[in-house]
Amino acid sequence: MASVIKLFDEREIAHRVEELATRIAGVIHGEFVVVGILKGSFVFVADLIRALDRAGCAPRVDFIRLSSYGQATESSGDVRLIGEVPSAVAGQVVLLADDVADTGLSLSRAKALLEAAGAAKVWTCAAVDKPSRRRVDFTPDFVCFTVGAQFVVGYGIDRAERYRHLSYIGVVD
């Protein structure tokens, strides 16, 4: 396996997730559901819901699974739903969480699916935002880190199903 250059270590990630949770708690009031986009968001969602608890929120949690990368490092542009849209979103405020906002295709597709399933309001957030790579007009409501076009890994984010286990966010050297 290639070496990985650290961009954001565990401490910085923890700090930013706490800040993000505080911002979210100041905007989203009352009950809401955090819906994570699998697989990449699972680590971020786990940290985020605990930070939201510390910020005074008690969100419910669900997941949606999408695929657009497969084994590639470029999105195919075809965002496929794997399984079903969570039924618990009907009439609910939703915070949709993803690992990386890259092309904007996955987050915008997931948001549309949740709205079609009857979500009252869908907010979006990402652990990492790459605005320079957008293919659609989409900006997440909440972001931990903004980076350039480099392909990041770690903290649940993979490259061909590798590197998810890393406790930090980095770039493969």
Gap between the Cα atoms of 131 and 118, Å rounded: 28
Pairing state between β 60-67 and 80-82: antiparallel
Kindly give the residue spans of alpha helices, DSSP state H, lying in 28-152: 42-54, 105-116
| 11 SS3 class | helix
Q: Is 129 a catalytic residue?
A: no
Catalytic residue from among 47, 102, 129, 173: 102
C-alpha 56, offset from chain centre: 21
Tokens 């005074």 correspond to what residue? 56
CB neighbour burial string for 86-100, b if at least 16 within 10 angstroms, e if fewer? beebeebbbbbbbbb
Residue by residue, DSSP assigns 84-118 as: ---GGGTT-EEEEEEEEESSSHHHHHHHHHHHHTT
Active-site residue list: 102
